[in-house]
Amino acid sequence: MMAEREQKAGYPLAPSNGYGRSDEEAMNSDELRCQKRKKWALYIIAFVIFQTGIIVLFTFTVMKFRTPKFRMRPASSFDTFDVQTATPLFNLRMNAQYGIKNTNFGPFKYGNTTVHFYYKGTEVGSTTIHKSKANFRSTKKVNVQVNLVMPANLASNSELANDLNAGILPLTSQSRVNGKVEIMFIFKKKRSANLNCTMEVNVSTKSLQNVKCK
């Protein structure tokens, strides 16, 4: 009777298993640890993917060695311009400008380079571009003078006479610049750029025109 009165008075009966509450807490703790491990695993996988992407991007952009471009620029003028059409003759001194475009993430160092000029296969002049370097992702502009003089074996060339009478002297220019690209002051690789240009000397305007380089 006393026990019944105590139960009715609000005193709960003790659980039959004294470890029921601690087991539930242990299960919750295990689930939290498992969730944390999953989160850390996802973080690590995401970090590895991110790092791999950065390495791939770095390899295919910064660490990629590209071949520089070697071009003759149209901004050229003449100090001497002596052209005769009656008796085919030309004697020109041209101020030529060249551009060496370096798209690498490091400087391109090149040696002395000779540029040759031809009239339909016959050399009529040459000039030298002295060794220097094109800084990373920039264009090195070089100004040089070149004497274009008609050789004696063209004196009786009928094609030359016709070209000069028409007021256009067609020329070609060829060269090859050799050097090394240096990235991060450690990695070096040899690179060469070819110059192959066609152009026209306009006799009436005394100017260089239609400069096209491949």
The CATH fold assigned to 69-213 is: Immunoglobulin-like (2.60.40)
pLDDT over threshold 80, residue 190: yes
Q: What is the pLDDT of residue 42?
A: 83
Asked if the model's pLDDT at residue 148 lies above 70, the reply is yes
What is the average pLDDT across 146-174? 95
pLDDT for the residue 48: 81
Specify the pTM.
0.73
The yes-or-no verdict on residue 149 having pLDDT over 60 is yes
Query: Which of residues 21 and 72 earns the better pLDDT score?
Result: 72
pLDDT at 209 over 80: yes
What's the rounded mean pLDDT across residues 50-59? 67
Tell me the average pLDDT of the chain. Answer: 86
User: For the residues 90-111, what does the mean pLDDT come to?
Assistant: 95
pLDDT at 61 over 80: no
Residue 177 has pLDDT above 70, yes or no: yes
Confidence of residue 89 (pLDDT cuts 50, 70, 90): very high
Of the candidates 169, 175, 176, 71, the one whose C-alpha atom is nearest the C-alpha of residue 120 is 169
Least confident of 43-57, 85-99, 186-200: 43-57
- Name the percent of the chain lying above pLDDT 70: 83
Q: Is the per-residue pLDDT at 213 higher than 90?
A: yes
How far is residue 48's CA from residue 11's CA, in Å, rounded to a whole number?
58
Beta strand 108-110 pairing with 168-183? antiparallel
C-alpha–C-alpha distance, residues 187 and 78, integer Å: 42
- State how far the Cα of 117 lies from the Cα of 106, in Å rounded to an integer: 31
pLDDT band, very low/low/confident/very high, at 5 (cuts 50, 70, 90):
low
Measured over the CA atoms of residue 181, residue 184, residue 185 and residue 187, the dihedral's sign is: negative
The full set of domain ranges for the chain reads 21-63, 69-213
Reply yes or no on whether the pLDDT at 60 is more than 80: no
Token look-up 């019944």 returns 4
- Mean pLDDT computed over 49-54: 73
pLDDT at 37 over 70: yes
pLDDT, residue 39, reads 82
